[in-house]
Amino acid sequence: MDEPQAASSTADDPPTRQRRRRPAVPPARAAADGPPAGGRAVTGRPPGIKEVAAAAGVSLGTVSNVLNRPHVVSPRTRAKVERAMEQLGFVRNESARQLRAGSSRILAYLMLDPSNPFFADVATGIEEVADAADLSVFLCSSGEDAAREARYLDLLLEQRVAGVLVTPVDAGNERLRTLPARGTPVVFVDRTAGADDGCSVSVDDVLGGELAVTHLVERGHERIAFIGGPETLNQVRDRRTGAERALARAGLPPDRLVVLTTSALTVAEGRGAAERLLGLPAARRPTAAFCANDLVALGLLQMCVQLGAAVPEDLAIVGYDDIDFAAAAAVPLTSVRQPRRLLGRTAAELLLDEANNPGHAHQHVQFIPELVARRSTLG
């Protein structure tokens, strides 16, 4: 999701003041069954609760109760007020309500990459919890850019969102600590928070890396590529650490892990890594690859097929996340599965508890990944 941009004028075309005749406002057209009792003609501004109260023949307090505490209003009176709202085209001023209340009915999820289906699935889980709580979710993307992440965090604070869920580029960003201090709870998603940094929901990525490389070693591979990056991402570092541990446990030297760093976790980067890997001398070329996510693995697989390298005979491939496209690939992809929607649901539940429960205690929930073996390693 791109950041909002403000309109601008150029220096050689400055804005000028012009006196314009305001066009006449035509009289409002009455509804087929006539306006409600006490209705007013439409003015140039949107109708407010005063107009609704006059049209329905009730007090301002009754209209306020219909909006905020409808259960205290009789069904007959509530129906009359709602009919007046509909006929006048009344729309609640939610911004004003937010200013009075000090917060909104909106949660925000600041993700790394909206093109990655993993984050879309996490967002779906968040929305399931938000819908049940009558909240909306604002989705935004850092694009793996720390400066952009910082700008969004400032914007979300200004907008008084009810809480922020974030998969951070920079977990050390001071804004992630100042938001809770200013009344906006923060929950880390797919990332472990520090002991005093709030709640977090994650998957044991070190174990995930171990599962992936152990599977490849058990299939007879002794020289394995690790493909992913940037290494500033905690998830990438943890998955590589797990791969190194699996090699050590198998008694293989560290140099048997050939690291091919990418600038992003995308299909395009996976294709580029395939060209580098297949261009290595045969004596040094890995016979298997563990990719830091499924998009990189799918790009690698695609380029292998294009260049005539058989999968898994010439190169076995393991991905990470187990997005829906993994099983649907031309050669179904072995992948380390994360409970994507459950991550989102759990994170949203922790956020709402922190926002609404005075006795809230921070929790760090970590799920266990699962290897799903398919043809890309099994043949």
183: domain CATH number is 3.40.50.2300
> Lowest-confidence range among 128-132, 179-183, 193-197, 299-303?
193-197
CA 309 to chain centre: 35
Domain boundary among 70, 92, 114: 92
Q: Three-class SS string for 79-132?
A: HHHHHHHHHHCCCCCHHHHHHHHCCCCEEEEEECCCCCHHHHHHHHHHHHHHHH
Per-residue pLDDT at 131 exceeds 90: yes
Q: Check whether residue 210 and residue 246 sit in a common domain.
A: yes
Give a yes or no: residue 21 inside a domain: no
- Share of residues in the chain with pLDDT > 70 (%): 84
Per-residue pLDDT at 377 exceeds 50: yes
Give a yes or no: residue 224 inside a domain: yes
Q: Check whether residue 222 and residue 316 sit in a common domain.
A: yes
pTM of the model: 0.74
Say how far apart CA 127 and CA 136 lie, in whole Å: 7
Question: What does R_g of the chain's alpha carbons equal in angstroms?
Answer: 28
State in Å, rounded, how far the first CA of the chain is from the last one.
39
Whether 57 and 83 have beta carbons less than 8 Å apart is answered as no
pLDDT score at 95? 52
Q: Check whether residue 149 and residue 190 sit in a common domain.
A: yes
Q: Which amino acid is at 186?
A: V
What CA–CA distances, in Å, run from 263 to 144, 227, 296, 327, 346?
A: 10, 10, 11, 25, 30
pLDDT tens sequence across 64-90:
888 878 888 999 999 999 998 888 887
Banded pLDDT at 9 (limits 50, 70, 90): very low
Summarize the confidence of residues 226-233 as an average pLDDT: 93
Q: Which amino acid is at 1?
A: M
pLDDT tens sequence across 328-363:
999 999 999 999 999 999 999 999 999 999 999 999
Tell me whether residue 100 is exposed, middle or buried, using C-beta atoms within 10 angstroms of its C-beta: 0 to 12, 13 to 18, 19 or more. exposed
Per-residue pLDDT at 261 exceeds 90: yes
Instruction: Kindly report the average pLDDT of the chain as a whole number.
Output: 86
Give a yes or no: residue 234 inside a domain: yes
Give which of 227, 267, 233 is closest to 115, Cα–Cα: 267
Summarize the confidence of residues 259-274 as an average pLDDT: 97
Whether 160 and 104 have beta carbons less than 8 Å apart is answered as yes
Q: How many domains does the chain have?
A: 3
Summarize the confidence of residues 300-316 as an average pLDDT: 97
Say how far apart CA 346 and CA 352 lie, in whole Å: 10
Banded pLDDT at 18 (limits 50, 70, 90): very low
- Residue 99 token pair: 């200013």
pLDDT score at 103? 57
> Lowest-confidence range among 34-38, 123-127, 164-168, 200-204?
34-38
Q: Check whether residue 81 and residue 105 sit in a common domain.
A: no
Q: Sheet harboring 370-372: ordered strands across? A: 257-261, 224-228, 288-291, 316-321, 334-337, 370-372
Per-residue pLDDT at 7 exceeds 80: no
Beta bridge mates, 137: 107
pLDDT score at 34? 42
Give a yes or no: residue 38 inside a domain: no
Q: Check whether residue 324 and residue 251 sit in a common domain.
A: yes
Q: Check whether residue 121 and residue 190 sit in a common domain.
A: yes
Q: Check whether residue 176 and residue 249 sit in a common domain.
A: no
Residue 85: give its domain's CATH number: 1.10.260
Q: Check whether residue 62 and residue 112 sit in a common domain.
A: no
pLDDT score at 24? 43
Domain boundary among 92, 127, 149: 92
pLDDT score at 33? 41
Summarize the confidence of residues 191-198 as an average pLDDT: 75
Q: Check whether residue 218 and residue 324 sit in a common domain.
A: yes
Domain interval for residue 355: 101-203+341-369
Q: Check whether residue 191 and residue 108 sit in a common domain.
A: yes
Q: Check whether residue 210 and residue 197 sit in a common domain.
A: no
Banded pLDDT at 1 (limits 50, 70, 90): very low
Give a yes or no: residue 219 inside a domain: yes
Give a yes or no: residue 70 inside a domain: yes
Give a yes or no: residue 43 inside a domain: no
Summarize the confidence of residues 55-70 as an average pLDDT: 86
pLDDT tens sequence across 236-247:
999 999 999 999
- Residue 230 token pair: 């940037």
Banded pLDDT at 35 (limits 50, 70, 90): very low
Summarize the confidence of residues 275-304 as an average pLDDT: 96
Give a yes or no: residue 140 inside a domain: yes
Per-residue pLDDT at 44 exceeds 60: no
Q: Check whether residue 348 and residue 256 sit in a common domain.
A: no
Summarize the confidence of residues 16-45 as an average pLDDT: 43
